[in-house]
Amino acid sequence: MTTTSTTALDPQRVQRRTVFLLSSAQLLSGVGNGATLSIGSLLAVDLSGSEAWAGSITTVLTLAAAIAALPLARLAETRGRRTGLVTGLVAAMMGALLIIASVVGQSFVLLLLGAAFLGLGTAANLQARFAAVDLADPEHRGRSLSTVVWAITIGAVAGPNLIQPGAVVGEALGLPPIAGPFVFSAAGLFLAAVLLFAGLRPDPLLLSRRLASQASGDAGEGALPARGTIRSGLRAVRSSPSAMLALAAVVAAHGVMVAVMSMTPLHLQQLVGGSPAGHHGGTTDSADALVIIGLTISLHIAGMFALSPLWGWLTDKAGRLQTIAMGHGLLLVAVFIAGFGQHEPGLVTAGLILLGLGWSAATIAGSTLLAESVAPDARVTVQGVSDTLMGGAGAIGGATSGLLLAWIGYQGLNIASSVLAAAVLALTLVMAVRSAGAQDAPALQPPA
């Protein structure tokens, strides 16, 4: 029965449907992260009463995503991508509701708890990009992965601009105005979870395993991979220089992006509003600051996702290493523009746009290279380890960015962040030169 039903399926058709469903879910769930990134630091200062906690929401969210990444990967290994993704999205919906409750009850603890649950949605969204390549042809892996990443653009860009519409919705529901955007977040996450639960059948990961078993002459389902751990995932990564570089590329890009992005709203509020964070409700300048913050974060998120198809195309056509180098080169340019232009909101915004573009290029190319540089039976575990380390880098970036902002200022924060991007760029260029000079270049176009 399994062999017959599997043979009757057209893998390419299932792949197209899978990418469409994953993209649609990303679009809906993107609103949650967009709203959190734009006003999370402001809520943290308001509810805690201290600017020292400005980076706490980003830190908790990214740390929770890091902690959840491997358990969700294990769930995907045993139950399929659908179960892992839906679990993360449902948890994130609960997080959005908890943030609404934190605003109503003026509870900083509930705010942190809500951010932690939203982090599970971040982990699910990150793993969705890997689900897009389970059935993809080798020459189209970058395109499939980037399509799913791109789909988050509309929701994520809309999120920071839902402050005013959200205020109207909040008032209509009897909620504080600033809680309104999270009503949109909860609704979007709920719809995304329902869409994947109902539609992601057959499961792309389970189907790919059955197809591989049939190709090898095994009529059964194929043995499940051994229980993945961080240690086994890292061991698989260490066995491949390409995988090691890919992992370094995505982890460093995420750490740089989160560190700079998480402190930019606070920097802009102080620059434009002229008042400390936490006292932003009463002046025209403060209102202008909120508009500029929303626009800047929206454009930053657009940079993260809007040109994903371009980076996917370049990953497939120009090469994995070349696109990683482009990404970290853009990150370097971004932090220097934002840092040395720290007194000009326009230059800060330009820097944040380039920061998003660099993150996108490095993440798409690095994720594609990582997925194909390890053995198939270790792939899901390695992907979980990658997301765990990405989240850990983001958590460290978010936790230290506030301290660096207070210690060496916004310019110093940007310059410090450039060190990671420069190191990965140098390593990538060295490997690209070595690969170009070799008779064959498996790091550039690894075999299927």
More confident residue, 37 or 82: 82
Count of CA atoms in the C-beta half-sphere (13 A) of 222: 21
- Give the residue carrying structure tokens 């996450």: 189
Q: Tell me if 106 is assigned to some domain.
A: yes
CA distance 86 to 92: 10
The alpha carbons of the chain give a radius of gyration, in whole angstroms, of: 21
For residue 79, the tally of other CB atoms under 10 A from its CB is: 15
pLDDT digits (tens, 9 = 90+) for 109-159: 999 999 999 999 988 988 998 899 898 888 888 999 888 888 877 666 666
Closest CA to 430 of 195, 248, 218, 178: 248
Inside any domain, residue 270? yes
Specify if 80 maps to a domain.
yes
Residue 442 inside a domain? The answer is: no
Q: Residue 101 pLDDT more than 70?
A: yes
211 inside domain: no
pLDDT level of residue 227 (50, 70, 90 thresholds) = low
- The span from the first CA to the last CA of the chain, in angstroms, equals 28
- Inter-residue contact 293 to 265 (CB < 8 Å): yes
| 34: confidence class by pLDDT, cuts 50, 70, 90 | low
HSE, side-chain direction, 13 A CA sphere, residue 318:
15
pLDDT band (50, 70, 90) for residue 40 = confident
pLDDT greater than 90 at residue 401? no
Rounded alpha-carbon distances, angstroms, from residue 228 to 78, 133, 162, 210, 223: 10, 20, 40, 20, 14
Mean pLDDT in residue range 293-321: 89
Does 128 map to a domain? yes
What's the one-letter identity of residue 405? Answer: L
Task: Indicate whether 21 pLDDT > 60.
Answer: yes
Here the tokens at position 48 are: 């805690």
- For residue 75, the Cα-to-chain-centroid distance in whole angstroms is 19
Query: How many structural domains compose the chain?
Result: 1
Choose among 123, 54, 128: nearest CA to 95: 123
User: Shortest CA distance to 30 belongs to which of 132, 100, 124, 141?
Assistant: 124
* Residue 174 pLDDT greater than 90, yes or no: no
The two structure tokens encoding residue 433: 């030169």
Q: How far apart are CA 17 and CA 212, in angstroms?
A: 20
Q: Tell whether 224 is covered by a domain.
A: no
Q: What is the mean pLDDT of residues 311-321?
A: 94
Q: Work out the average pLDDT over 65-78.
A: 90
Cα(298)–Cα(141) distance, integer angstroms: 28
Q: What is the 3-state secondary structure (H, E, C) of the chain?
A: CHHHHHHHCCHHHHHHHHHHHHHHHHHHHHHHHHHHHHHHHHHHHHHHCCHHHCCHHHHHHHHHHHHHHHHHHHHHHHHCHHHHHHHHHHHHHHHHHHHHHHHHHCCHHHHHHHHHHHHHHHHHHHHHHHHCCCCCCHHHHHHHHHHHHHHCHHHHHHHHHHHHHHHHHHHHCCCCHHHHHHHHHHHHHHHHHHHHHHHCCCCHHHHHHHHHHHHCCCCCCCCCCCCCCHHHHHHHHHCCHHHHHHHHHHHHHHHHHHHHHHHHHHHHHHHHHCCCCCCCCCCHHHHHHHHHHHHHHHHHHHHHHCCHHHHHHHHHHCCHHHHHHHHHHHHHHHHHHHHHCCCCHHHHHHHHHHHHHHHHHHHHHHHHHHHHCCCHHHHHHHHHHHHHHHHHHHHHHHHHHHHHHHHHHHHHHHHHHHHHHHHHHHHHHHHHHHHHHCCCCCCCCCCC
The b/e string for 105-121 (b: 16+ C-beta within 10 A; e otherwise) is: eeebebbbbbbbbbbbb
Kindly report, residue by residue over 355-369, the tens digit of the pLDDT: 999 999 999 999 999
pLDDT number for residue 305: 83
> What is the average pLDDT across 278-284?
42
For residue 316, tell me if it sits in a domain.
Answer: yes
CATH of the domain at 398: 1.20.1250.20
Q: Which domain holds residue 299?
A: 2-206+229-436
Give residue 245's pLDDT.
Answer: 96
Q: Each residue of 231-240: pLDDT tens digit? A: 888 899 999 9
What rounded mean pLDDT belongs to the chain? Answer: 84
